């Protein structure tokens, strides 16, 4: 029998706040019988939203009041100093005080990262958390990190990302030895920069199932389970992918509406196009983990709708079930003790 997992939701965060988070919470309760949810935010507003959505507080859903909200553009330092009773901060506090096994927020990334680091602290051996998410690939999906928390990552940082990413993939996808690739370029005669070359050397001599260098297009092949890169590079890769996908779907739409024949073909093709859209629906991949913390923090896209936010809750649930931070902690302890006992 699986246990019971409590997940705290920053119900005021994101572009849409309770309007999205409350319906997503009700969907999650219906989907999973083994979770409890805590809606964190303005009590009155949340009660109203809850009854409007046909839900009600129960032994599986409660509201935890928080008077403040972190703005989507608020500088992290300001959020940290002035918003101690924000829905974001209180949700993270609930994880810290073990009243929740995980939290989910669609609030601003910088503030969430700063708050999570300050409240939960990083695991021993981790300098700074990394952001990881699953990306759809031809055969399944690929976990990629870091996606923007760390710029100018050293070889040692890249190595830490690899260890954490491998543990996460192993836990959530039930893989014995996830294939780990290091993102590099093939154009330059000397191939790659010093950090990547040094990290490759470290990974070759590690316990990981390191498969070598991969290039940008390999992210979408599904031939590796984890792709490791600097946060600047990873963030650009992710945003670029979103741009391409948006352009292509714009073209599909405009092509199927450019003339009478195209419109009729579009009607015939509609079920196929709908199935296609479901298959590459970015909402099915919403939810990035802040990895390397002493607790589970999931970042939802700020513009997420209820379907997308629900997916972020799913990720929080599975990471709680698989005790991802504890697994990473254990692995790091082994590695640190091995280093300590090295001749």
Min CB(157)–a copy of itself separation in Å: 13
Confirm or reject binding of residue 251 to a copy of itself (CB under 8 A).
Answer: yes
DSSP lists the bridge partners of residue 104 as 9, 298
Stretch of 23-31, 64-72, 94-102, 142-150 lying at the interface with a copy of itself (CB under 8 A)? 142-150
Given 148, 181, 292, 325, the residue binding a copy of itself (CB under 8 A): 148
Complex with a copy of itself: residue 55 or 216, whichever CB lies closer: 216
Query: What is d(CA 114, CA 75) in angstroms, rounded to the nearest whole number?
Result: 10
**What contacts 176, CB < 8 A, 6 or more positions away?**
170
Query: What is d(CA 212, CA 183) in angstroms, rounded to the nearest whole number?
Result: 9
Confirm or reject binding of residue 260 to a copy of itself (CB under 8 A).
Answer: no
Complex with a copy of itself: residue 6 or 150, whichever CB lies closer: 150
Size of the site for a copy of itself (CB under 8 A): 72
**What contacts 66, CB < 8 A, 6 or more positions away?**
12, 40, 41, 42, 85, 86, 87, 89, 90, 91
Per CB under 8 A, contacts with a copy of itself among 100-129 are 109-111, 113-114
Given 62, 201, 250, 338, the residue binding a copy of itself (CB under 8 A): 250
Given 152, 176, 341, 343, the residue binding a copy of itself (CB under 8 A): 152
Per CB under 8 A, contacts with a copy of itself among 11-70 are none
SS3 216: helix
Confirm or reject binding of residue 244 to a copy of itself (CB under 8 A).
Answer: yes
Complex with a copy of itself: residue 148 or 325, whichever CB lies closer: 148
Given 14, 231, 292, 325, the residue binding a copy of itself (CB under 8 A): 231
Query: What is d(CA 35, CA 40) in angstroms, rounded to the nearest whole number?
Result: 16
Given 15, 34, 85, 242, the residue binding a copy of itself (CB under 8 A): 242
Per CB under 8 A, contacts with a copy of itself among 182-211 are 183, 185-189, 192-194
- Both tokens assigned to 10: 């920053």
**What contacts 335, CB < 8 A, 6 or more positions away?**
125, 163, 207
Query: What is d(CA 307, CA 309) in angstroms, rounded to the nearest whole number?
Result: 6
């Amino acid at each position: 029998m699986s246990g019971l997992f409590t997940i705290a939701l920053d119900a005021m965060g994101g572009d849409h706040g309770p309007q999205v988070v409350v319906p997503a919470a009700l969907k999650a309760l219906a989907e999973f019988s083994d979770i409890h949810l805590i809606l964190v935010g303005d009590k009155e507003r949340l009660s109203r939203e809850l009854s409007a959505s046909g839900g009600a507080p129960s032994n599986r859903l409660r509201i935890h009041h928080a008077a403040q909200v972190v703005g989507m553009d608020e500088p992290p330092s300001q959020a940290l100093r002035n918003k101690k009773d924000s829905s974001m901060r209180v949700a993270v506090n609930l994880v810290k005080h073990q009243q929740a096994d995980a939290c989910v927020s669609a609030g601003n990334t910088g503030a969430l990262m700063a708050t999570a680091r300050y409240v939960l602290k990083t695991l021993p051996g981790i300098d700074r958390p990394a952001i990881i998410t699953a990306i759809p690939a031809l055969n399944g999906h690929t976990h990629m990190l870091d996606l923007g928390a760390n710029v100018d990552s050293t070889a040692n940082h890249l190595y830490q990302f690899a260890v954490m990413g491998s543990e996460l993939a192993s836990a959530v996808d039930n893989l014995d030895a996830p294939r780990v690739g290091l993102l590099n370029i093939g154009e330059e005669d000397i191939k790659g920069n010093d950090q990547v070359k040094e990290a490759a050397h470290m990974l070759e001599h590690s316990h990981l199932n390191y498969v070598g260098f991969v290039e940008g297009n390999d992210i979408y092949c599904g031939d590796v389970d984890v792709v490791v890169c600097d946060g600047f590079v990873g963030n650009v890769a992710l945003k670029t992918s979103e741009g391409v996908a948006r352009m292509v779907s714009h073209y599909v739409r405009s092509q199927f509406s450019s003339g009478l024949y195209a419109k009729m073909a579009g009607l015939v093709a509609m079920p196929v196009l709908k199935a296609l859209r479901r298959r590459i629906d970015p909402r099915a991949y919403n939810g990035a983990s802040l990895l390397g913390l002493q607790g589970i923090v999931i970042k939802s896209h700020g513009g997420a709708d209820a379907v997308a936010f629900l997916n972020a809750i799913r990720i929080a649930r599975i990471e709680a079930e698989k005790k991802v931070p504890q697994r990473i902690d254990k692995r790091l302890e082994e590695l640190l003790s091995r280093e300590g006992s090295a001749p």
